[in-house]
Structure 1
Amino acid sequence: MNLKITTILGATALTALGACTDPAATGLGNMNKAQQGALAGAAIGAVLGGTRDSDKNGQGKDAVKGAILGAAAGAIAGNILDRQAAALEQAVQNPNVQIVNHGSYLQVVLPEGILFSTDSAAVSGIAQNDLYAVARNLNEYPNSRVEVVGHTDNTGSASYNMDLSQRRAQSVAGILTAGGVAGSRIVAVGRGEDQPVASNATEQGRAQNRRVEILIRPNS
């Protein structure tokens, strides 16, 4: 990409952001996900438009078009995730459930302690209420795919942990399905002890590793 295209890319990205950014806001840290989505979409759209040059009019014009379209798409997707995350935070009652908006997807982290008894894959009655709340949210925002991922600590054999994590993921996915979420949207997988988020050397760390994550990814 030549200097002209690079200049256009930056200018169009900033122009797109100007439509959705508070004048008082400065820097990426002050942007919400819709604004960050607009920036990313503008940059990606400019690159794609600049390289394709489908109408033979010169890459500059295609970069501008791509940036504008990309910014609009990115802002819409980011805004939807912002609203869905806010709705989830209101619907889920247990304060130990973490809801993280990563910008391109949502992550719902449910610790083992609120879901299961030790070595069990049966979801507790209290936790089921929050899972049904998640299911209602997924039905309100149907344009996404859902990955339910089970994780364990490293206590016991790796094969046992893999099996337990798979059964737990399937139990959580089954409740989402019972709550009306289409089974075709959901994939349940077990990762066993392979993806720790804390050290397994302490009980606190092992407790953090025993979890189920629900990953909500918008359809492209």
Structure 2
Amino acid sequence: MKFSKKLASLSIAGAIVLSGCTTINPYTGEQQTSSVAKGSAIGAIGGAVLGAATSNDKGKGALIGALGGAAVGGGIGYYMDVQEAKLRQQLQGSGVSVTRSGNNITLNMPNAITFATNSSTLKPGADKVLSSVVLVVKEYDKTRINILGYTDNTGSASYNKLLSDKRANAVGGYFLSHGTKYARLNEKGMGEANPIASNSTSKGRAENRRVEIVLTPM
């Protein structure tokens, strides 16, 4: 009997959070459950368990715990949801892709925008794109900015690693020079690792030459 009541409390907690939390994705037009709703649901269930365990009134304790857990669980997801939406708005038509994985946001900046072949000097046109990113990350300052440089497999692995380091540092330097705090930055050259296309074609190699900016919760 006690087990059934606990299950009922958890079901109620999940239903409270998820009801009405499906939205229309403004980019795909598809119905979806937002990250904040998913995070809230997880927090709600955890809160319900804790509330039921620590309260004399198990049902009431589970409900209070669920609502408190939902607020905490949804906080990070909501923060990243809004940041993602602003980045998509700022970068629309720029050639930079925005990808969401859990609470991580990845900006893929191809070399066509950022660097010339064998160069670690930012192109003049990169300023417009990077300034749009800086505008958002300065507003949402509770995220870490991980800057990863990548090359294709042309040339030696050691040269490619050095070039990717310089490119990551150049992008990081741009953020620093525009008021981003050093403590938020993590720069790393990845060389020819993690290709996203085949290096056997010129088109594939061009796709692999890129800088990824990965925003993660601090």
TM-score class normalised by the smaller sequence: 0.7 to 0.9
TM-score by length of 2: 0.82
Deviations 1:139-196 (A, max 9, x none): 1111111101111111111111111111111100110111111111010011111111
> In 2, are the aligned partners of 1:111 and 1:211 still within 8 Å (CA)?
yes
Q: Distance in 1 between matches of 2:196 and 2:69?
A: 34
> 2:55, 2:61 within 8 Å by CA — same for their partners in 1?
no
Deviation at 1:59, TM superposition (A): 7.7
Contact 2:51/2:63 (8 A) holds in 1: no
Shift of 1:101: 2.9
- Residue type of the partner of 1:136? L
1:172 matched to 2:205: no
Deviations 1:106-153 (A, max 9, x none): 111100111101111111111122112211111111111110111111
Count of residue pairs the alignment pairs up: 210
Gaps of 5+ in 1: 23-28
Give the corresponding residue for 2:120. Answer: 121
Q: Is the contact between residue 43 and residue 71 of structure 2 (CA under 8 Å) also seen in structure 1?
A: no
What residue in structure 1 maps to residue 14 of structure 2?
A: 13
In structure 2, distance between residues paired with 1:3 and 1:154: 59
Go from structure 1 to structure 2 and tell me whether the alpha carbon gap of 1:194 and 1:167 turns closer, same or farther (over 3 Å shift): same
1:210 offset after TM fit, Å? 1.0
| Long gaps (5+) in structure 2 | 24-29
> 2 CA distance for matches of 1:59 and 1:194?
53
Number of the residue aligned with 1:215: 214
DSSP-derived class of the 1:99 partner:
strand
**Residues 1-220 of structure 1 mapped to structure 2, 5 A cutoff:** 5-21=6-22, 30-33=31-34, 36-47=35-46, 50=49, 55=54, 57=56, 64-92=63-91, 94-219=93-218
CA distance in 2, matches of 1:143, 1:211: 25
For the Cα contact (< 8 Å) 1:148–1:212, is it kept in 2? Answer: yes
- The 2-side partners of 1:111 and 1:160 are apart by 19
Conserved in 2, the CA contact under 8 Å of 1:37 and 1:103?
no
User: SS at the partner of 1:198?
Assistant: coil
For 2:212, the aligned partner's letter is E
Residue 27 (structure 2) aligns with = none
Percent same amino acid at aligned positions?
A: 35
What's the CA shift for 1:32?
4.7
Deviation at 1:200, TM superposition (A): 1.6
Secondary structure in 1 matching 2:54: coil
147-156 or 40-49, larger mean C-alpha shift: 40-49
Deviation digits for residues 178-220 of structure 1, max 9, x if unmatched? 111111101001111111112222222211111101111123x
The whole-number CA distance in structure 1 between the counterparts of 2:38 and 2:58 is: 20
Aligned-partner residue type, residue 15 of structure 2: L
